[in-house]
C-alpha cells in the first residue's frame, strides 16, 4: 500500500511539472529569450506570447513589424538564433537578411540581400555574432563559413577550408572555442553521419577528430529534421552530446504528429499537432530534462573511433620492418610540417577581391576610377549611400587580403590621387609592388 501511494505521488509530481500550452496554429514561430529566461511564441502578426520558465505563466503582448517584413515571411524563410547574453536574431534561411526582436518590435538590422546560397546550413551564434556553415544554393554545396558583421551590417567569408563530404542538415554543436559536427564519409544518399569534424575559431582551422562506427538509424535521409545537435523525425529523437561523446536515442511514440523538438535551459520542448473537426492547432509541451529520460528511456551509443581488427604479424622481422617504415614515415611528415610552418600560409582571395584585382589589372597604367567599382557591388540596385558603403567595404577587404598575401602593409596595396580632369573624383593606382609580385607568379 505504501509503495502504491509513493508511486502515485511520484506520478503526480512528474505530471504536475510538465506544462502544455495550446497554440492556435500548427506552425508558430518559437524562440528563446535567454536574457529574461522565457519562451517567445509568435502565432499572429499582431502579438507575441511570452512564457516564463520560472513561473510558467504566459503573457500576450503587442508586436510591431518593420515595413519590409511580414509574419508569413518570418515563419517560412527565417531561422531564429539566440544564446546566453545575446538578443534574438532571425536569419534569412538562405543567408542574407538579418532581423532582430527588440522588445515589442521586429526590425531589420542588415544592409544585405537574399543570397539564396546556404539553405540547410549550420546556423549558430559565436561571441554574439551570427555564423553559417555550409548549406546548399546556386546548384552547389558550400564548404565555407560566413559571418555577419553587426557594425558593417554585411556578411563576409570567414573560412573556406572544410574538406569533408558536403551535405546539409548535419548535427552540430558550438562551444566557446570550437564548432563540432557529424558529417557522412561520402555524399551517397542515405549515408550515416560518421565523421566527427572540429573547427577551432582561434586557429581558424578544421581537423577531423575520428570516424565513428556507423549508426544506420542516424542517416542523412529525407524525413529527418535537425536543430543543432537534435536530429528527429515524427517519433524518434537523436541527441548528439559532443561534450560527453554520447548519442541518446529516444522513441517518443507520440499520440499526435510531432512537428518540432527543442532543448532550452532545464526543459525539452515538443510541438505536436492537435486536430478537431474545424481547425488544426498545436500543443507546446515543456518537459523537465530530468523527467524526459523517465518518460522516454534512451538507447545510448558512444561517439568513439571505429573499431579496427588488426592483422597478426607472423614474424618478428616483419614486425620490425613495419615499425621502421612507420618511423621513417613519421620523420618525413614531421620534417615536412616543420618546413610548412616556416613558410607563411598564403591567404586565399575571396571571389569579390579576385574580381576587383582582375578589373584593376585590365586597366591602362593600373589606374582605376572609383566609380568603376560600382558594377562589382551593384547587385540589387541599392541606394547611393549603400553603394558607397559597399564600395568602401570591398576596398577595405581587398587591401587587407592583398597585404596578407604579399606580406606588405595595407597602405602599400594602392594609392589614391585626384582625377586630372575632375578634382572631385579620385583615381586609385595599384602599387608597383603588387604588379611586380603578380608578374613573378605568372
Scored b (16 or more CB within 10 A) or e, 392-409 reads ebbbebbbebbbebbeee
Is pLDDT at 438 greater than 80 in this prediction? no
Grid cell listed for 241:
552530446
Under the banding of pLDDT at 50, 70 and 90, the label for residue 363 is confident
Topology annotation, domain 16-302: Neuraminidase (2.120.10)
- Is the pLDDT at 309 greater than 50? The verdict is no
pLDDT higher than 50, residue 11: no
Tell me the pLDDT tens digit for each residue of 228-276: 999 888 888 999 999 999 999 999 876 667 889 999 999 999 998 887 6
- Beta carbons within 8 Å of 71's beta carbon, 6+ residues apart: 29, 42, 44, 45, 65
Q: What is the pLDDT of residue 277?
A: 52
Q: State the pLDDT at residue 308.
A: 46
Using H for helix, E for strand and C for coil, what is the string for 325-378?
HHHHHHHHHHHHHHHHHHCCCCCCCCHHHHHHHHHHHCCHHHEEEHHHHHHHHC
Q: Are 30 and 39 in contact (CB under 8 A)?
A: yes
- The pLDDT of residue 72: 93
As a whole number of angstroms, the distance between CA 163 and CA 234 comes to 32
6-15, 146-155, 306-315 — most confident range: 146-155
Cell numbers at residue 67, please? 515595413
Specify the higher pLDDT residue, 371 or 105. 105
Residues 6+ apart with CB under 8 A from 239: 229, 230, 231, 247, 248, 250, 263, 298
User: CB neighbours of 6 closer than 8 A, spacing ≥ 6?
Assistant: none
Q: Which grid cell sits at 50?
A: 511570452
Confidence of residue 360 (pLDDT cuts 50, 70, 90): confident
For 351-441, the fitting CATH number among 2.40.10, 1.10.8, 1.10.10, 1.20.140 is: 1.10.10
Return the closest-CA partner of residue 171 out of 239, 253, 99.
Answer: 239
How many CA within 13 A on the CB side of residue 168? 17
Q: pLDDT tens digit string along 372-424? A: 888 888 877 788 888 888 888 888 888 888 888 777 788 788 888 887 777 67
User: Which of 140 and 188 is assigned the larger pLDDT?
Assistant: 140
CA distances from 39 to 80, 92, 165, 196, 209 (A): 12, 21, 36, 32, 35
φ, ψ (nearest 5 deg) of residue 326: -65, -40
Q: Tell me which of 90-99, 264-273, 431-440 is least confident.
A: 431-440
Q: What is the pLDDT of residues 80-89, one digit of tens each?
A: 999 998 999 9
Amino acid at each position: 500500500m505504501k509503495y502504491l501511494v509513493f508511486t502515485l505521488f511520484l506520478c503526480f509530481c512528474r505530471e504536475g511539472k510538465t506544462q502544455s500550452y495550446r497554440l492556435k496554429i500548427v506552425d508558430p514561430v518559437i524562440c528563446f529569450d535567454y536574457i529574461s529566461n522565457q519562451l517567445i511564441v509568435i502565432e499572429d502578426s499582431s502579438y507575441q506570447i511570452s512564457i516564463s520558465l520560472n513561473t510558467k505563466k504566459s503573457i500576450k503582448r503587442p508586436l510591431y513589424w518593420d515595413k519590409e517584413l511580414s509574419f508569413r515571411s518570418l515563419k517560412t524563410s527565417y531561422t531564429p538564433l539566440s544564446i546566453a547574453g545575446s538578443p534574438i536574431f532571425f536569419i534569412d534561411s538562405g543567408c542574407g537578411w538579418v532581423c532582430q526582436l527588440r522588445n515589442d518590435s521586429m526590425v531589420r538590422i542588415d544592409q544585405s540581400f537574399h543570397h539564396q546560397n546556404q539553405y540547410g546550413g549550420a546556423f549558430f551564434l559565436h561571441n554574439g555574432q551570427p555564423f553559417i556553415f555550409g548549406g546548399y544554393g546556386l546548384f552547389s554545396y558550400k564548404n565555407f563559413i560566413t559571418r555577419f558583421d553587426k557594425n558593417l551590417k554585411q556578411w563576409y567569408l570567414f573560412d573556406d577550408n572544410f574538406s569533408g563530404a558536403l551535405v546539409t542538415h548535419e548535427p552540430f554543436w558550438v562551444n566557446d572555442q570550437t564548432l563540432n559536427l557529424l558529417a557522412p564519409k561520402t555524399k551517397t544518399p542515405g549515408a550515416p553521419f560518421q565523421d566527427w569534424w572540429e573547427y577551432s575559431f582561434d586557429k581558424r582551422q578544421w581537423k577531423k577528430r575520428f570516424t565513428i562506427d556507423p549508426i544506420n538509424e542516424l542517416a542523412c535521409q529525407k524525413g529527418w529534421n535537425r536543430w543543432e545537435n537534435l536530429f528527429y523525425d515524427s517519433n524518434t529523437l537523436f541527441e548528439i552530446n559532443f561534450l560527453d561523446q554520447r548519442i541518446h536515442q529516444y522513441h517518443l511514440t507520440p499520440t499526435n504528429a510531432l512537428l518540432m523538438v527543442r532543448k532550452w535551459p532545464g526543459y525539452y520542448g515538443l510541438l505536436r499537432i492537435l486536430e478537431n473537426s474545424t481547425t488544426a492547432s498545436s500543443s507546446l509541451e515543456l518537459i523537465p530534462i530530468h523527467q524526459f529520460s523517465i518518460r522516454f528511456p534512451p538507447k545510448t551509443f558512444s561517439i568513439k573511433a571505429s573499431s579496427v581488427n588488426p592483422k597478426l604479424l607472423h614474424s618478428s622481422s616483419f614486425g620490425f620492418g613495419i615499425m621502421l617504415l612507420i618511423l621513417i614515415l613519421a620523420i618525413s611528415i614531421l620534417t615536412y610540417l616543420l618546413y610548412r610552418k616556416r613558410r607563411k600560409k598564403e591567404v586565399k582571395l575571396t571571389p569579390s577581391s579576385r574580381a576587383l584585382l582582375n578589373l584593376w589589372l585590365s586597366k591602362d597604367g593600373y589606374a582605376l576610377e572609383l566609380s568603376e567599382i560600382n558594377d562589382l557591388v551593384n547587385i540589387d540596385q541599392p541606394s547611393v549611400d549603400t553603394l558607397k558603403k559597399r564600395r568602401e567595404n570591398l576596398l577595405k577587404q581587398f587591401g587587407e587580403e592583398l597585404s596578407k598575401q604579399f606580406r606588405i602593409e595595407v597602405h602599400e596595396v594602392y594609392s589614391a590621387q585626384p582625377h586630372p580632369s575632375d578634382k572631385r573624383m579620385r583615381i586609385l593606382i595599384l602599387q608597383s609592388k603588387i604588379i611586380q609580385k603578380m608578374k613573378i607568379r605568372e
